[in-house]
Amino acid sequence: MMNSFENLPKENHKYLRCFVLVDSDKKFPNDTTKQNRVNLFQFLDSLGIPYHELEKREMENYLPDEVFETIEDNNDFIQAYLKLNSSVVF
């Protein structure tokens, strides 16, 4: 994405409007064997791009759409959530 901004006056990362969400994939809390993830975070930090790495319990909060049908008295939220699309440009 940043390459598409290389002919503009500012540094190309300044044109990005994004937040990076990364699944943990850790085997245990202090697992540091994922060097690619460490490199990614260093890269994002160097550019000031915000990110969040999901923790173990956060990963378990993924819900399939069918679960939302069981929530009572929250129809507006449910309909708004279900209308979201999953198309994201990477």
Domain boundary assignment for the chain: 2-61
Q: What is the largest CA-CA distance in the chain?
A: 51
Q: Which amino acid is located at 28 in the chain? A: F
Q: Which amino acid is located at 58 in the chain? A: E
Of 31, 34, 37, residue with least CA distance to 53? 37
pLDDT at 29: 66
> Which single residue is written with the structure tokens 């440009």?
89
Decide: helix, strand or coil at residue 58.
helix
**pLDDT by residue for the chain (90 residues), tens digit each?**
888 888 888 888 888 888 888 877 666 667 766 778 889 899 999 988 898 887 765 555 566 767 767 777 777 877 777 776 555 444
pLDDT at 89: 45
